[in-house]
């Protein structure tokens, strides 16, 4: 936010637990009252709590589904009435390649990311005649802290980056900006024919 403001942009933040429908509703209501409408939602928040399924306790399953699945549903549900009121909008969900393929230790996470793909298609179909587009990005391995627990189970971050060629053919982790660029395109009118789209931004990971 500070970076946006530093270059003359306008930005405001609010701390919200997306696994609470009431908190998400309140955030969207406040944003609409401040900015007089909402035409873009990027559903980005996520958790990755890896493990072998038979060892994963209930609270980890609940948290993963609450944040990664319910959080996205709540976000979409909150903005849709406002988008209907202004004749349209664009929703961009951030899933992961695990919405399409799984990886070791990611059964629960993959289930949540697969749901992100299908909820995108559901919203896209139900609101296509109302001008609301909904697309999903499936990133590959991006250099952020969400991966650290998973990296530990796979032999450590250094090992991952030394061998990244073996699973992400571009041979390097993605940078957050490269995912943001995809979201920017999908949010914009340049993507006017795209709805229900599943866009891999993954350095070739799902091309193998």
Which residues of this protein are in contact with ligand NAD, per CB under 6 A? 16-19, 44-48, 67, 94, 96, 139, 141-142, 144-147
| Both tokens assigned to 27 | 């955030």
User: C-beta of 135: minimal distance to ligand NAD in Å?
Assistant: 15
User: C-beta of 45: minimal distance to ligand NAD in Å?
Assistant: 4
Backbone angles phi, psi at 44, to 5 degrees: -110, -30
- Residue 74 is a catalytic residue: no
Closest CB to ligand NAD among residues 45, 65: 45
Listed residue (111, 88, 108, 89) closest to 100, CA to CA: 111
Question: Measured between alpha carbons, how far is 44 from 162 in angstroms, rounded to an integer?
Answer: 28
Listed residue (101, 105, 98, 95) closest to 68, CA to CA: 95
Question: Which residue is at the shortest CB distance from ligand NAD?
Answer: 46
Among residues 74, 109, 127, 161, the one annotated as catalytic is 109
User: C-beta of 192: minimal distance to ligand NAD in Å?
Assistant: 25
Indicate the SS3 state at residue 69: helix
Query: Which helix (H) or strand (E) element contains residue 85?
Result: helix 71-86
Closest CB to ligand NAD among residues 88, 155: 155
Catalytic residues: 109
């Amino acid at each position: 936010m500070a970076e946006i403001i530093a270059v003359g942009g306008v930005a405001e933040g609010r701390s919200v637990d997306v696994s609470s429908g009431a908190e998400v509703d309140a955030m969207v209501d406040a944003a609409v009252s401040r900015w007089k409408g909402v035409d873009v939602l990027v559903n980005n928040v996520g958790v990755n709590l890896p493990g072998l399924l038979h060892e994963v306790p209930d609270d980890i399953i609940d948290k993963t589904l609450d944040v990664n699945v319910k959080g996205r549903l709540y976000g979409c549900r909150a903005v849709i009435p406002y988008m209907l009121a202004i004749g349209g909008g664009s929703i961009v969900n951030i899933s992961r390649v695990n919405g399409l393929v799984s990886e070791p230790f990611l059964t629960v996470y993959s289930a949540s990311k697969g749901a992100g793909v299908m909820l995108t298609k559901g919203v896209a179909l139900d609101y296509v005649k109302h001008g609301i587009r909904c697309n999903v990005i499936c990133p590959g391995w991006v250099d952020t802290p969400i991966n650290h627990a998973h990296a530990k189970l796979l032999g450590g971050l250094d090992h991952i980056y030394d061998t990244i060629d073996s699973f992400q053919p571009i041979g390097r982790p993605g940078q957050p900006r490269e995912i943001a660029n995809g979201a920017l395109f999908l949010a914009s009118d340049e993507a006017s024919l795209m709805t229900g789209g599943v866009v891999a931004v993954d350095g070739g990971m799902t091309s193998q």
